[in-house]
Amino acid sequence: MFDRIVAEESDRDPDLAVIEAGSRTLRAQAAPPQGEPAPAPLDPETAAALREVEQELSTRWGETKLEPSVSRIAALMDVLGEPQRAYPSIHVTGTNGKTSTSRMIEALLNAFELRTGRYTSPHVQSITERISLDGAPISAERFVETYYDIKPYVEMVDASEEYRLSFFEVLTGMAYAAFADAPVDVAVVEVGMGGSWDATNVIDAAVAVITPISLDHTDRLGSTHGEIAQEKGGIIKQDATVILAQQPVDAAQVLLKKAVEVDATVAREGMEFGVVSREVAVGGQMLTLRGVGGEYEGIFLPLHGAHMAHNAAVALAAVEAFFGVGAQQSRELDLETVRRGFASVTSPGRMEVVRRSPTVILDAAHNPAGAQVTAEAVTEAFGFSRLIGVVGASEGKDVRGVFEAFEPIFAEVVVTENSSHRAMSADELAAIAVEVFGSERVQVEPRLDDALEAAITLAEEEAEYGGAGVLVTGSVITVGEARLLLKRG
């Protein structure tokens, strides 16, 4: 079956047959909360303390400045007493869908009454979102306490290493310490970038999840799918179980080879598990998923788009693997619990509707592959006769590819900027947009609030027909700031 799939996509590399033959699969081994509450306003003292912590963190290397090594985070874990080894982990990497998949895994584990810790990045609105316990961000008070608890140890490592710990490394240390302190039954950990040298990669996760790989961060991870897969495959540990989403063939080849090298068990979407069927439903979609242990029918997922259905299949397989389905047992998980878990899933800033009349959707697509699946999801789930785009992007991104993905569905596009120092200027963005859309379809509004107002005004020109909408996209930061402006959460 795999041969046929590969042959349909490209010339078959003979090494792939060897890799497939050497890898094990889960199926071969088998014997025959609704929504997140809005954060409460902080009291002045707590708000000031949180700002102080954020200010201290901001003096460190940002998330885009990297020195490819895990030596500093390993040193921090050592002086903290290896908190990341106090609980089992599920490690999630890939290019697109990492956060949504992580949130689905978490929701399923919560439904099975396990206490979870989730570490994801970047945040949409508040830095506290990055560290969650039982599906909710830790409180500002706890975030501050955790920072000051580990700060002396951070300073010890800073003094002994060539470079100080980075912003992301300190946050990773905080997450692992908070999870150990809770304590959690299982941690769901999303990589920041890559895998091999990502700060999160000091865990020995029994389950490694790799969502679809596409071209992003090519200056750091490689210029081909295979090169990027080499980095992301670094989270696959000895004797682990690997859950592979559908991948480009060269990426699949690299990942399967790595699995063979470390004697890992592999389950592949489209082979050992996958989406059997999906139908658009009010507020989301109805799914039938095939897991490694059996078929799960009648699953309501309150998220839109085929890509979210595939994320759900990956998440289900990951949870099955965590519980030993396929390896130690052949029967599927309890269906009603799985249904309850998926029905509770939220994913802020991912195909999220934040207002009606006109409908405004937020989606954090920031590369061409992400933009393409978002465009397909919007087309499928909403019958817009006129859709206005609001796009604010970061420097270094393939914004032309993003615009080209959205061009068929945007009647007009309003280009803007977010408040990040990495934001691409509205004028620079407009120059590229004009080449894709033509000048008559591009409007420039450097302030995001003005851009939202302009887009809603353009959409309201057809409001009497009820067929207009606005899609805010291009960056997690843009979406987060728009979410605040639109008074969501």
Read off the pLDDT of residues 424-480 as tens digits, 9 standing for 90 and up: 999 999 999 999 999 999 999 999 999 999 999 999 886 555 689 999 999 989 999
> What whole-number percentage of the chain has pLDDT above 70?
86
Q: What is the mean pLDDT of residues 354-358?
A: 88
At residue 143, the pLDDT reads 97
Give the CA distances from residue 404 to residues 365, 369, 424, in Å, rounded to whole numbers and listed in that order.
13, 11, 17
Question: What is the distance in angstroms between the CA of the first residue and the CA of the last residue of the chain?
Answer: 46
At residue 397, the pLDDT reads 86
Q: Which two tokens mark 368?
A: 């061409």
At residue 12, the pLDDT reads 37
Q: How many CB atoms are closer than 10 A to CB 246?
A: 18
- Report d(CA 433, CA 448) in Å as an integer: 17
Report residue 5's pLDDT band, with 50, 70 and 90 as the boundaries.
very low
What mean pLDDT value characterizes the chain? Answer: 87
pLDDT (tens digit, 9 = 90+) per residue, 113-146? Answer: 999 999 998 888 889 999 999 999 999 999 999 9
Closest to 252 in 3D by CA, of 1, 13, 8: 13
- Report d(CA 355, CA 57) in Å as an integer: 34
> What whole-number percentage of the chain has pLDDT above 90?
69
Range of weakest confidence among 34-38, 399-403, 437-441: 34-38
- Report d(CA 222, CA 19) in Å as an integer: 22
- Report d(CA 178, CA 368) in Å as an integer: 35
Pair 484, 397: CB distance under 8 Å: no
Range of weakest confidence among 29-38, 56-65, 408-417: 29-38
Residues 6+ apart with CB under 8 A from 421: none
- Report d(CA 267, CA 273) in Å as an integer: 7
Task: Give me the sheet containing 136-137, strands edge to edge.
Answer: 24-25, 265-268, 241-244, 207-210, 89-93, 186-190, 116-119, 131-133, 136-137
Give the CA distances from residue 315 to residues 66, 98, 220, in Å, rounded to whole numbers and listed in that order.
29, 10, 27
Q: Which two tokens mark 19?
A: 């890799």
Q: In the predicted model, is pLDDT for residue 481 greater than 80?
A: yes
pLDDT (tens digit, 9 = 90+) per residue, 184-200? Answer: 999 999 998 878 889 99
Specify the pTM: 0.86
Higher pLDDT, 9 or 462: 462
Q: How many CB atoms are closer than 10 A to CB 148?
A: 12
Tally of CA atoms within 13 A in the half-sphere of 441 that contains its CB: 20
- Label the pairing between strands 359-362 and 352-355: antiparallel
Tally of CA atoms within 13 A in the half-sphere of 339 that contains its CB: 12
Higher pLDDT, 219 or 42: 42
Q: Which two tokens mark 354?
A: 């934040």
pLDDT (tens digit, 9 = 90+) per residue, 281-335? Answer: 988 999 999 999 999 999 999 999 999 999 999 999 999 999 999 766 667 899 9
